[in-house]
Amino acid sequence: MRYRLVIFDWDGTLMDSVARIVDCMQAASREAGWGELTPESVRNIIGLGLPEAIASLCPGIDPDRAELLRSRYAWHFVEGSDTPMRFFSGVEEGLVGLHGGGVQRLAVATGKSRRGLDRIFRESDSGRWFQASRTADETRSKPHPLMLEELLRELEVPLEEAVMVGDTEYDLEMARAIGMDRVGVTWGVHAPERLAASRPTFTAEAVPELFDWLQGK
């Protein structure tokens, strides 16, 4: 194994949830009276914490309208949307393979809220795979590296024995800020050339390729 600890982003890296996020954010923006958001603009902020995402999408939005947009987004995501979410093909098998292949720790670092991550852990029966996790509402949002620093301390793993895996520059820049190895995946929201600017240790173009590399194959 290349690393003792593999830290994964969630949306766009492990789970194919981008379409749902886009649909829900567009609906919430309309209902909050902000207007239409383009799919490209919403895709661009996936990975940030929700307050940071709204501030980026809606420059100058007043606090009351921002809170309305946030609450409507949360409602749509949990109850109002029928846009499906599922793991990318091969992800579940890959996570099982990492456990069986000798990786000691798996963790999640996500822009989701704690409530949202715990919900998807329960619904997908995937929480059992991860020894720790950090969400944007309980620490600093990406690309600040605090959530990575906290995970390293909690799991007692040295920096050089850990790697961050993500589909956005926010994931990679978070790791780059503290000198952590980082892997970009190209099936998510940010283009390969955008990921390349963060000088990833490796870039995976398919799920099996990612897990083979993590296992040292």
Give residue 216's pLDDT: 85
Pairwise CA distance, residues 98 & 148, whole Å:
20
How is residue 106 written in tokens?
Answer: 């798996």
**What pLDDT does residue 80 have?**
78
pLDDT value of position 191: 94
The residue type of 52 is: E
- Sequence spans of domains, the chain: 5-16+86-214, 18-80
- d(Cα 174, Cα 184) in Å, to the nearest integer? 12
Model pLDDT, residue 158:
96
pLDDT value at residue 100: 74
Query: 179 φ, ψ to 5°?
Result: 75, 25
Rg over CA atoms, the chain = 17
Weakly modelled stretches of the chain, pLDDT under 50: none
> Which of 22, 167, 41 has its CA nearest to residue 83?
22
pLDDT of residue 1: 74
pTM: 0.91
Q: Quickly list H helices, 47-164.
A: 50-57, 63-75, 91-101, 114-124, 146-155
Q: Which CATH superfamily is domain 5-16+86-214 in?
A: HAD superfamily/HAD-like (3.40.50.1000)
Decide yes or no: CATH 1.10.3470 for domain 18-80: no
Q: Residues 156-205: pLDDT tens digits?
A: 999 999 999 999 999 999 999 999 999 999 999 999 999 999 999 999 99
Q: List the one residue out of 188, 161, 181, 154 whose CA is nearest residue 46.
A: 188
